[in-house]
Copies of this chain bind each other. A is one copy, B any other.
Amino acid sequence: MGTPMPEPTDPEVLLDAKRFQVIRKYQKTASGERLPRQIIRHPGAVVILPLLDGNRLVLIENYRIAVEETLLELPAGTLEPEESPLATAHRELAEETGYRAGSMEPLLRFASSPGILSEEMHLFVATDLSLGEMALEAGEEIIPKIVAWEEAVAMSRDGRIHDAKTLVGILYYEMFRRRR
């Protein structure tokens, strides 16, 4: 019977990059037109809010060539094929900070930049932390940085933290989850 023909609605891959694909999809308008859209397909990612003793936060300083800047971020990383967001969260926290989490609680899911990018972020809160070894990937330049929770909130306010996923994580937790 041979290989089945692809469905005519299958998106066309324009570029297959290491960490994403650029594809073309067709959007049907209200008037019945089909408009081509170039979008970036991404497997999704996790971001982790690691709390030490309930009142300190483990951040990372991370050089980001896309913005040519070292950003202060929550640990985060991309889902591997067949990997659950929970497993990714445990793996990335250990690789990027050395910490292992006794508890990893899902908090929120959100879209990073849905105008062009399919990436969905899964936010977790990591507690009951114990320190082990870091395991950075080639080219990763990451330095863990532990700050008081109140300092993380102040950094979000004054712009020292200006990474979207990190702002969402800190502000959401401060507003809706933190016990005072």
Which residues of chain A have a CB within 8 Å of any CB of chain B?
Answer: 14-15, 17-20, 22, 25, 27, 29-30, 33, 35, 37-40, 42, 45, 63-67, 69, 71, 73, 76, 78, 108-121, 138-139, 141, 153, 156-157, 159, 162-165, 167-168, 171-172, 174-176
In the complex, what residues of B have CB within 8 A of residue A25's CB? 65
B108 lies within 8 A of A159 (CB): yes
In the complex, what residues of B have CB within 8 A of residue A112's CB? 112-113, 117, 164
Q: Number of copies of this chain in the oligomer?
A: 2
In the complex, what residues of B have CB within 8 A of residue A22's CB? 15, 17, 22
In the assembled complex, the CB of A169 is this many whole angstroms from the nearest CB of chain B, namely: 10
B111 lies within 8 A of A64 (CB): yes
In the assembled complex, the CB of A49 is this many whole angstroms from the nearest CB of chain B, namely: 14
A164 to B115, CA, bound (A): 11
Question: Are A175 and B164 also in contact (CB < 8 A) when A112-B113, A117-B113 are?
Answer: no
Contact of A38 among B18, B111, B117, B120 (CB under 8 A): B18
Beyond A15-B15, A66-B118, A67-B114, 20 extra complex contacts between A and B, CB < 8 Å: A14-B15, A14-B17, A17-B22, A19-B116, A29-B139, A37-B66, A39-B65, A67-B120, A73-B114, A109-B159, A111-B163, A112-B113, A113-B113, A113-B119, A113-B164, A114-B163, A121-B164, A156-B172, A164-B164, A168-B168
